[in-house]
Homo-oligomer: A and B are copies of this chain.
């Protein structure tokens, strides 16, 4: 049952990291999202030049990073926080397609010169690194190596998407909610506090209505599975969540 996370986490790279850090440049070597290991593809000489194309960036909750249809000028690696990937139907309903968090790479469209396909909005305060598309020259060896690394990530995105499609919009609502909590718990901060989505975000992610989202949450609160700390903060009993999922998997 060790299904991969919707948001790819941890799996730390144990490869030797180049000790290199120009003044003012982002501390790539210390970066929390090493698993991307983009720069492992570069050798000692190429790296310093590459770092000129890397810029740290911050978003407040609610800020839009990318809008569907826009030309994408850069790739971004998410270092902290959660963003939602969303899209709108013909009828104007929002559908949150998945969440992405630390370790994910977004904006891969920058490499294929195609417009962004989804809106990308910060759910929490977010820190990212902006990687200019000029970091990935199409016809040099180093550029190709980087592009390969990036596109490898696309496969992980596909997996994340599949995971979302498997659990977030299928089966009884209770199960979807539990899966969401499991995901949020995985992204808890050092103190074990998770982001508590707005009810309409839950609603548009799980394809349920706001009232039912609220009711589900109330039920789980009363069951002691979660504790609401403040408007946007939640403490999740991950064990209880796992147990609840287990239990409801059994009664078939």
Contacts and interface: CB of A to CB of B under 8 A. Distances in A.
A73 to B, nearest CB: 17
- Residue among A148, A151, A166, A171 with the most chain B CB within 10 A? A151
Contacts of A98: 165
B90 A162 contact: no
Contacts of A102: none
- What number of copies of this chain does the assembly contain? 2
Nearest to A170: B207
A1 B89 CA distance: 9
A159 B108 CA distance: 12
Interface string A110-126: 00100001100000000
Contacts of A1: 90
Contact of A91 (B93, B97, B159, B249): B249
Interface of A: 1, 87, 89-93, 95, 97-98, 108-109, 112, 117-118, 141, 144-145, 147-148, 151-152, 154-155, 157-159, 161-162, 164-166, 169-171, 207, 245-246, 248-250, 252
11 contacts: A1-B90, A89-B171, A90-B246, A95-B166, A118-B162, A144-B145, A154-B155, A158-B161, A165-B165, A169-B169, A169-B207
